[in-house]
Chains A and B, each alone.
Chain A
């Protein structure tokens, strides 16, 4: 009986999502989302929510945002057919090329959108967090573009493993602050960015980089990123119709939500998010929140999380700094609950291998984050021959050179790896 009720409830939630009713007035995606922030931030969050709902649909804002996307970001980004990879996998593989967007990843769509919003809302300074450095670089560039000072919080460990991006941020005029507390990665950087925001909520705008955090951020980031899926769908339809499956990597989940959103209502399109399986399935060795997390509250939202029996948030691991996060956006938690998106994992070595194959066969060096999506797609292709696959190529891999240089050049090519964890 309760199974029947659950199924009905799931159907109703999916319908509400497809009808554009989520997040609801309380900022919830079904049981997930909400605004779990210190009282000091509540007035600022309320102002932001009002601003988001009044500005995003306004013609003037849309015009400004679209112009920046076209003339400065370089949209629409290309849809690239991958013939040699298609041959190797026995599938028809397409890439949505966010790596070709200005600053080299999808992060810029959100960063310039929020920087414009901050300007409209009268903010005098911007703070941002960054993991891999891609959102930090995008924020630094967007702030320079609109003329606002920018402070980027970045974990000490990430600063070490993403050195080229630190230099880029500095040159783009941002002040990069090394975070030495907590786990010294993305999670601690968000903690510190929130502390900064709490200290001056009147004048500071927090430019959050993923579809996580308190409402309205998951909504705002989705709206700004959904241009990815809208473009991809239109571009692919111009060739020969909808794909059988769409793949995106999921850390916080901004590129995935941006790519998936336009396909949610297409029942025949399978949507698959790929999380970082890290080095093992043990808690602490991966960042596979949707696969092994529990409901909890971190960074302002109720979502799935990796924590221990005492409620302490767990340290995570992934070869890619951008996926190395113990939480995930609340909308993904809902999409898992209503079974509209399936979430699988790819581990460090599968991702590295897929990256090598993409370099060798298509002449594209993807980001390590993106490599997880490619690895997940490759595994799926081996079981679904001759299918049409769209992969969100969320970012370029140049920033990963310090890590990649620790591994030998090359790939096991099309040889299927058997250490799959899906």
Chain B
């Protein structure tokens, strides 16, 4: 395995819940992210999936330093970026950029496309000399598949897919090494989703980027990712290469999630088993003891309420070679095929 460009260790983000108007007193915390660790290797795409509210977007915001973690470390090339400020932070920001979910609110409606994509150069003037910026902006427009002559247009003159291309061009302007994409296609039409995902893949090859790709659409994540992490209630429950996760899931939550993926083949659909989870996701302000998935798990036993399962290769698979040998946070992990093989 190549060297990790980004190491995330025990990342925690708790939002305090307070009571009282004048004298605030903390009565609890929303544990949005509660101990997330993963590595990102240069040039790879790490997909993060999970249902709404599981902390995916909070992880993304911490990676680009829009939120400060409550605890834990994010090491970029060996240095912790979570406590940086001033100049050091600025130079790290050059290398970790973000693509936002909603292309309708992520572009300032009162700035021209040229100003939006050129803004990174105004903030980091060392990247491009002043006379060069306009040409660079037009190159970027060309790279993301837009007409370079659109430079004086305003965002509302573009469609959703084109706006997301503008957002991607802005993210690319500083030639970052890592791009954190927070559900970059979930606000787009299905036909346009494919265009944008393929653009991201092409850009990855062209500029040797590393992606953290956050989504709730499992098919898109599989399409773009080299490795996939599955999140549930602020933690990663299973992580591995895409084939390992999709074809050999060992965590019951992953299995349930995958069993809900639509299957394009009607005859295969007849025979598949659908796992329907009971109940709702528990509130992140009141997380179950032990394994946090136990309240909805069909395998839950007493051990699950007492012992927190660690994210590691489960004991049963430790001696096995093969695709089931990947970290999974379950006491009773077993392989179960839920997606018909392709």
Asked if A and B bind, the verdict is: no
